[in-house]
Amino acid sequence: MGVPTAIELLEDLIIDLEGKLNLAPGEDPIVDNTSKTQSTNKKQNEKKQKAKPVIETKAPASDLDQPDICKLEFKVGLITKVWAHPDADKLYCEEIDCGEEGGARQIASGLRHHYSEEEMLGKKVLVVANLKAKSLVGFKSHGMVLCAVQVNEDGSEKVEFVEPPDGAPLGEVVTFEGLPPPSPISAAQVEKKKVFAACMDGMKTNNDCIGTWNGHVFMTSAGPCRGRTVKGGVMR
């Protein structure tokens, strides 16, 4: 035999290397090994996924499954400032302390024909707190004050606050006798689903002037909320 050429020596080295790496002749050790590794990892992951137990969890009950009245948020508030709206003869502008970290809410109410400023100031009221803020003749109102209304024989209206008892703390959220605890939804949801409008037909004072929704009393930790004199009046 003659002396092996450089090419022959190189070919022998390649054949020897293929044997050590268990490669078929001509197989690329880098690319194919990577492919094999990826394939092995894929199979291992598939086994892990198959072996992983499936745990079913029940989603919490949606706030939207609550009675409509429980989707609203009625808070105990105190009128700390009141002034006549400069551009609307029926509106008062108020600052109402609802015990919130952000400070007093600004709310507009069409009560100038029913209360004087002196009668408004310092009054404890119920604020519907999760309504979308609206601009009333240029004044942005963040909620509304709940009142009871009685229509007189001459067509005029008697309007008075539905008041929480004196002992009810500011910011307390009203509950409803015989119903689940309130789970208020967002202002956007209240607006979209017309929740307040849906509740209005059921919101009335009873024969004791106590605020109710379909007979369920508006309650605080200090007792029920009520008007002063309006019996069987709608609440709005």
Q: What are 159's two structure tokens?
A: 């309007």
β-strands 144-145, 92-97 pairing: unpaired
Write down the pLDDT at residue 65. 82
The pLDDT-based confidence of 64 (bands split at 50, 70, 90) is low
Domain ranges of the chain: 6-41, 64-235
16 Cβ contact list (under 8 Å, min separation 6): none
Taking 70 as the threshold, does the pLDDT of residue 129 lie above it?
yes
CA distances from 83 to 107, 140, 181 (A): 11, 14, 35
- Quick: pLDDT tens for 92-119: 999 999 999 999 999 999 999 999 999 9
Give the burial class of 68: count Cβ atoms within 10 A of its Cβ; 0-12 exposed, 13-18 middle, 19 or more buried: buried
Whether residue 52 is predicted with pLDDT greater than 50 in this model: the reply is: no
In the chain, alpha helices (H): 6-20, 29-51, 117-120, 187-193, 195-200
- Please count the other Cβ atoms lying within 10 Å of the Cβ belonging to residue 184: 19
Pair 149, 230: CB distance under 8 Å:
yes
- Which CATH number is 64-235's, of 2.60.120.1440, 2.60.120.340, 2.60.40.10, 2.40.50.140? 2.40.50.140
* Rounded percentage of the chain residues whose pLDDT exceeds 70: 73
Based on C-alpha coordinates, what's the Rg of the chain?
36
Mean pLDDT of 14-19: 53
